[in-house]
Structure 1
Amino acid sequence: MTNEPAPTDCFVCGKHRDESLMPGGPVWHDELVVVSHLSPRAPGGSAAVYLGHMLVEPRRHAPGLADLTDAEAQRVGLWCTRAARRLREVGGAEHVYAAVIGDNVPHLHVHLLPRYPGTPREYWWERVDEWPDAPRGGESEAAALVARLSAAGR
């Protein structure tokens, strides 16, 4: 576990301080974890994002899984499960993938990627968001999905 202060240029720490960087604000949060929708303003982002691409992040700046406290690790797992459930129940996903990559932003973030009905098998898993007919939208569409997911509760 790292006790180093959060870097001032960390995008994830920045969006935890300025919730306007999250489309629709946080979907859910507690004292240890924030769940949000991928932002078109994220590093390497584009004007249209894959709708339902959620991020589960510890509030504390922790570069990777091995840097989490036990409490943070438990809470990250809990929020991944809750968010995946809501993506199925409210978002219409038939399956939800989870991945930790950690190459672009050195603040742990678990990617949750829904697979929607009708997604051709060749786009399953790491290509799910490349499907030409995948649901995409800008900040307003992502914020609308965030509102629906948030309204469904934890």
Structure 2
Amino acid sequence: MEECFICSKHRRMAELPGGMLLADEHCLVSHLPLVLPQGPRESVYLGYLMVEPRRHIAELGDLSPPEASSLGRLAASASSALRSATGAEHIYAAIIGHGVEHLHLHLIPRYPGTPREYWRTRVDEWPEGPRGDAARIDELADAIRAAAPSE
């Protein structure tokens, strides 16, 4: 059986660009990595964050009450920090896809100048959106951490 992409990513978090942005005992937030299940990328859409439970579960309904609370709290904190750090006009939140069978919430910023109708297309096709390599992800991660609300 093939290992879960997200469980493996959690064990390598210190090696990934941006590392862990926010976390508690149940969930963590990180930037979209440069190595995806489809293969490596030179750059990714900057500010594309993932909120993931630490425990391997497939569905939203499988979260325990403390995990569900953590997912919501960290998503709200990450969204606020992302908007503050980047000037994004809106943060989309979605649980989509079956490419990885580990629950993950996507937080996707829409930056000024990106037409609203782009939500119908893949985020990597948004021409006005900034893209970044490892160095740019690290820089943005520091700004997000600094903008994160303290608890």
Same fold (TM over 0.5): yes
What percent identity do the matched residue pairs reach?
Answer: 50
Say yes or no: does 1:113 pair with 2:108. yes
1:96 alignment partner in structure 2: 91
Give the secondary-structure state (helix, strand or coil) at the position aligned to 2:86: coil
Name the counterpart of 2:67.
72
The answer for the alignment partner of 2:140 in structure 1 is 145
Q: Distance in 1 between matches of 2:26 and 2:116?
A: 36
**What do the CA deviations read for 1:46-105 (whole angstroms, capped 9, x no partner)?**
221000000000000011101111110111011111111111111211100011014100
Would you say the 8 A contact 1:21–1:39 is kept in 2? no
Aligned-residue CA RMSD (Å)? 1.7
User: Greater strand percent: which structure?
Assistant: 2
Is residue 35 of structure 1 aligned with residue 15 of structure 2?
no
For structure 2, the residue ranges without an aligned partner over 5 or more in a row are none
Equivalents in 1 of 2:2, 2:69: separation in Å? 26
* Contact 1:34/1:57 (8 A) holds in 2: yes
SS at 1:86 equivalent: helix
CA distance in structure 2 between the partners assigned to 1:19 and 1:124 by the alignment: 29
Q: Deviation string for 1:85-144 (max 9, x for gaps)?
A: 111111211100011014100000000000001112331355444221210011221111
**Residues 21, 29 of structure 2: 8 Å contact kept:** yes
User: Which TM-score applies when normalising by structure 2?
Assistant: 0.90
Specify the code of the residue in structure 1 equivalent to 2:62. Answer: D
- Identify the range of structure 1 (120-129 vs 66-75) with the bigger mean alpha-carbon deviation: 120-129
Runs of 5+ consecutive residues of structure 1 not aligned to the other structure:
1-6
Paired amino acid for 1:150: R
